[in-house]
Amino acid sequence: MINQSLKQLAAALATKQISSVELTQLFLDRIKRLNPELNAYITLDEAKTLAQAKLADARIANGEATSVTGIPFAQKDIFCAKGWRTTCGSKMLETFIAPYDAHVITQFDNAGAVNLGKTNMDEFAMGSSNETSYFGKVKNPWDKERVPGGSSGGSAAAMAARLCAAATGTDTGGSIRQPASLCGFTGLKPTYGVVSRYGMIAFASSLDQAGPMAKSAEDCAVMMNVMAGFDERDSTSLQRENEDYSRDLNKPLAGLKIGLPKEYFAEGLSAEVAVVVQEAIAQYRKLGAETVDISLPNTRLSIPVYYVIAPAEASSNLSRYDGVRYGHRAAEYTDLLDMYCKSRAEGFGAEVKRRILIGTYVLSAGYYDAYYLKAQQIRRLIAQDFEAAFNQCDVIMGPSAPGTAFKIGEKADDPVSMYLQDIYTIAVNLAGLPGMSIPAGFANKLPVGLQIIGNYFDEARMLNVAHQYQQATDWHTKMPEGI
């Protein structure tokens, strides 16, 4: 059961081959056995989870099932879930019990899905390796001495180890796609505004986007049909007609034009990863697609632009954690200002403090025009690069990450090297475009992801492109040994 698709699991539940309670218990047992070493989950509540499974079984018996009713999902611990501890991987929110549901959680609850638990993540989603979590490092199931990627590393490890049927994640600069590449599964970042951010603890509001993490493109399409939709509580949520993201899965790829940015195959890309990506592109040519060379000249500026804009927004968003209303409060202090200072000093980790300081600096008087305003201007140029590229091609392809999973601690003392792990993904967030990573093979026995970037609201086409590749290959079915 652990390797079956969401569609297969739904069919098994509908035909009474297995009940939701039995399926959920199967995953809970795997979590008990494997999570102590992998550290993929922060919070589990077996009673709550099994109660949802029982309700799902009743719903199925009454003929009221949806495509995900009774199926157990892992939820990234950035989504508020009523009655669940919601920590965002931080000491600041270590004991916070969410009083309401995020829109994404509501969507899954309304569809009858089962919440297995809250997955580990980099603190406040700031990181590319899941090493900044207050609750400890997550280990990559393919090699437990290596990172799973971040910030959605807990969901990624849970996916790779089959500790859930599928999982949710968020992507601010690559936090779904990069761990999908490092852990060998399919992850999709939708167009900005397609999935509501309501109840998703904010890092950088103009970049954050929730998305599905699953075994295959088909599974991601099923999840997108649940997650997407207008939400009036989120001012950035887009009011669009609902669409069926699985509608084009079986379309042939004859005539598809794939853009290959020269900047994605230049210095910095691992030679072994480059070989795997080129082989995947060759497979697309066999499927009838044609490739065209394109350029995204401002790609090299995406890292410095991101690390001006994202920390600026983070410094604003994280100012709410002051020890007064919720979150960590220092035990001893002399006055209100001392309480603020000590609570924030104790409650935030090193990477979060670094980004708050950078963000506050670039927003300060005398530096705003030189840094923040300039970064926003270059952000527009990056978006224009993509606009020009899509006049030449239907989708853009390249590596999801410059290398395979690196060893735990290898880049911990080198923030710039860590930031460069997102060199191929960040520009997509800056432009608000959809992007996804699919398994494309292995380098040194570690997974390699192929990134597919689409035009605005082109998720259905991207899922079609990914699905056709997955029908012709079996990389997405591979599992780590011993799991």
Whether 452 contacts 396, CB under 8 Å:
yes
- pLDDT bracket for residue 414 (50, 70, 90): confident
CB 21 within 8 A of CB 119: no
- Encode pLDDT of 40-95 as tens digits: 999 999 999 999 999 999 999 999 999 999 999 999 999 999 999 999 999 999 99
Tokens of 228: 């997407």
Q: In what order do the strands lie in the sheet with 395-399?
A: 41-43, 114-119, 72-76, 166-170, 210-214, 186-189, 435-443, 446-453, 395-399, 257-261, 290-294
pLDDT attached to residue 397: 98
> pLDDT tens, 240-282?
999 999 999 999 999 999 999 999 999 899 999 999 999 999 9
Q: Which amino acid is at 408?
A: I
Q: What stretch of H or E contains 110?
A: helix 103-110
The pLDDT tens digits of the residues spanning 356-378 come to 999 999 999 889 999 999 999 99
Cβ proximity of 42 and 120 under 8 Å = yes
User: How much is the average pLDDT of 322-327?
Assistant: 92
Angstrom CA distances, 465 to 187, 218, 244, 276, 287, stand at 14, 11, 16, 17, 10
- Residue 170: pLDDT over 90: yes
Q: What is the mean pLDDT of the chain?
A: 97
Lowest mean pLDDT among 151-155, 418-422, 449-453: 418-422
Domain 6-255+405-477: which CATH number of 3.40.630.30, 3.90.1300.10, 3.40.50.620, 1.20.120.1200: 3.90.1300.10
pLDDT band for 342, please (50, 70, 90 cuts): very high
For 296, the token pair is 């995204």
pLDDT of residue 392: 98
Q: Which residue has the tokens 């309670």?
A: 21
Tokens encoding 424: 């191929």
pLDDT at 451: 98
Q: Above 90 in pLDDT, residue 144?
A: yes
Active-site positions read 76, 151, 175
